[in-house]
Structure 1
């Protein structure tokens, strides 16, 4: 008897975080549900309104290229996360629909190796989510460390304030605390919005792999040709379901991916400029390196997950060839050929319907960041 598998368990951290930040409402007949709107407003005032405005204003009042770069990457990152939150609220209905489809695929699993593939992917996705959240919290921790050890009253992240936060220790401590709380909540928002594409994509890849295992066994058992052909039809239906999942994911993630790529290129460019041309303490250098790593990982995990889907889709053709098609009737072989032709068409996320999201895409983003860095370097040389 097969152990029950639930693919939706892989998404629990995302939905917990979305509920915390006000994107996933509980039932309205509960105490929590009746006061959820007030909680949503309260928890989003600082990270989604106060912090972005302070970063935008700091960019506008900067007096030099270096000062501008010190805040520009923060303004870009917060702007992108504001847009991601809007995108999540827009596609939330589709994400719930995807979970229902994955439950259907769970019910199709027929062997322990198929179930084990799903369980291993669930565990891997949960670990990646936790590691990503820890990395974002580490960015905040290093920012607090260098600001606390600074000789002057500095904030963890440079920002414009309508008051003089350095005037008294009390005002400084209050401003410091508010920014830290806002950045912490923003870390939760970032972790959920950056990892949900990864989780959905790797789960689709896992179901592709489980389906490939099932296909490879066709014709190798004692079933009649008619029963084997019926199993092939079931596999084709599951393959079509997976393709439906990818169409929904492409619709949900396409615009978010292209925004993420642009944000990564701009942020890597400005952060590299700061690290190279500004003298800083060791703690601040560590902070900026953690920040640079987290920004790159935001794009890396999406590219990796899309690459996994593409790879498992290509492996489907190999699984089809491993079936015992030589001992099957012509009708089976003809159907198998059509399935192989469809499996040879690559699947994966296409950003803005023109840019396939692969690991090579990350290299293109880094190259774009380097190109912009050379422009900044020339501008500094002229000044």
Structure 2
């Protein structure tokens, strides 16, 4: 994620801004150019300032104040590249649903931003069966049906609307003994299962995956049951980014993918702010960092890690000064960094293909039951 600038008045803008508070122009995000554009109405459409050609329309979800992405005026369909992946939204006539759905959409749009910046495949069910799509579901207020479970099933990602309630999410975080749980983390974890399908299973990279993460054909249900009954091994932090990552190779991949997006997105924002870390008491320079590169490009993973660790130390220290928990309470040991490097190479198409097809793996599991939800960061 990065900062933006208003084309009309040069005011600094943030990704979620809908209106420039300095000049009053409406703002719309153009995903094709990664631009938050100041726009002016022209007939039934909108023109981006500074552009002599091309008219746009706002995504249909702008009517609910849930999206401000722009669509070329000539494009068929009323939804933007992010919202066309929505399969189900909650009953928006219920005010509390609308409020929570807006929070969910904010996290989803940040997810799609990252996927677009990484140039990852983004097929919806409109493109092909098994494409990426979302169900945002609210619990039955009467309690006559089971609570909605966050999970995945062959490209269909279900997000429980209850996760948009801060108190409810904090309670689940405490109940599950998690370090970190956010809506954005849910999206990044669950979408990783979709990209395991696309880039590993269908991309014929099972051999390299198994060498790094283990054999995914191991019984998934049994592995989760054992994890929740016995917990992770005492030395899990040597090779796993989170305790939940130890449950099964699928979850190890999803947790690592999630943290990779955390790192890339945060480093881009740090670069946008021109952040430098130079602790005065550090005579060795080991805690110094300057984000003077684009983490969304195929740079060296060690360059990213060398910048990430000092940035994290500073963020965590600042949070503690405010009486808050660490912003990033995780340890990145050599084994974890190697797995993050695998994800980095995978998204940039640098993981070798299988020499020959191995045994066909079973399909990914259906929706994960509520007690087994992955820790979200």
The two structures have a TM-score, normalised by structure 2, of: 0.23
User: Per residue, is there more helix in 1 or in 2?
Assistant: 1
RCO higher in structure (CA 8 A, sep ≥6): 1
TM-score between the two structures when normalised by the length of structure 1? 0.23
